[in-house]
Amino acid sequence: MRAVKSVLVMAGSLKRANPDLIEDSVLIRAMRDANVPKFLVDDLPLFAAIIQDLFPSIAITPNEYGKLEVTIREMIVDAAL
């Protein structure tokens, strides 16, 4: 039950921060944010399939990290040189 509570608390925070988002999308994002960091790479397609089965009518979009993602990519390129 602790894991369910964590997802619900995270979903509540996301909904308060983005009140215009539909609740299904908020719940999907909360489940991804709470669980994906714990999975191995091989488990990610299975998790994505489970989410798609639970929410078949919702298009699941990747998270947008904006400037953080751009900066990380730049640092990776710089480190490779």
Residue ranges of domains in the chain: 2-80
3-class SS of residue 44: helix
| C-alpha–C-alpha distance, residues 44 and 51, integer Å | 11
Find where tokens 């640092």 sit.
75
Selection from 12, 4, 77 nearest residue 35 by Cα: 4
pLDDT(59) > 80: yes
- Please give the model's pTM, rounded to 2 decimal places: 0.73
Q: Per residue in 1-41, pLDDT tens?
A: 788 899 999 999 989 998 998 898 899 999 998 999 999 99
Contact residues for 26 (Cβ-Cβ < 8 A; gap 6+): 11, 14, 15, 18
Q: Per residue in 31-58, pLDDT tens?
A: 998 999 999 999 999 999 999 999 998 8
